[in-house]
Amino acid sequence: VPYTRGAEYSRPVLDVISEAKNLIQHGAKEICLLGQNVNAYHGVYKNKTLSLDELIMEVANLSGIKRIRYMTSHPVDMTEDLIQAHGKVNALIPYLHLPVQSGDNVVLKSMNRKYTAESYLKIIDKLKNVREDMAFSSDFIIGFPGETKKAFDNTLKLVDEVKYCQAYSFKYSRRPGTPGSILKGQVAEEIKVDRLSEIQTILNEQQLSFNKSFIGKNFDVLLERKGKKENQLVGKSPYMQAVHILTNEYMIGDIVKIHISNADKNSLEGNYI
């Protein structure tokens, strides 16, 4: 990404807070802190520099905020303070998109990711220790140059260990001008297709299992838009799942306690309590 978008920079803290306050005044209950590598944030605030966990604290202190999330993160910049924030800030949702790309250390080094599969899994464990209901989504690039069958199996092993609630997976695409495009060991297209199909089958099964685990349970849903059916509204759970309800008593922007009655891979259905 730096080759195409340039070096990272961080907006000043007061700019972010000012924008958040404006959103709250217009009815927002959830704030998403967004950046290409958001947990490397280092925004200027008065005469010092704040990290992402400190910015989260500032946002959490704003009146009216019910939910805070951030994306997209890089495992290298998951600091201890940021991990601990998940156990301290009630508004910080129990969900994190943490791209791993591969579960093989040789491939990760070739990608210049600067972490190992083992260090990534330690981050997952630490986050679960500070908040046991944490769930994770991720990104995977399948068929990166040099990915052997053993390397791909290591990725499947990591997927099995984490058990993601959602994931995005893609075949490696050779792009001119990128370091990967000139690496040896380019993977044949038919192998990439087969491997992508295999990992997507597993990831889809994990996502379905995660969603079905909420049947019969209750949680708060932030209503965001109208659904396709009459009197249907669609909202988001604390885990960013789409939740469909039939109601004429609530409005977009409300946070409603929902009893989940049905689930498929892509969404949940429920009734308000």
Q: Select from 213, 273, 200, 201 the least CA-distant residue to 241.
A: 213
pLDDT single digits (tens) 211-252: 999 999 999 999 999 999 998 999 999 999 999 999 888 889
Q: Residue range 124-143: average pLDDT?
A: 98
CB 67 within 8 A of CB 93: yes
Q: What sign does the CA torsion over 164, 70, 87, 22 have?
A: negative
The pLDDT tens digits for 3-61 are: 667 778 899 999 999 999 999 999 999 999 999 899 999 999 988 999 999 999 999 99
- Is 202 exposed, middle or buried (CB count within 10 Å of its CB: 0-12, 13-18, 19+)? middle
pLDDT of amino acid 13: 97
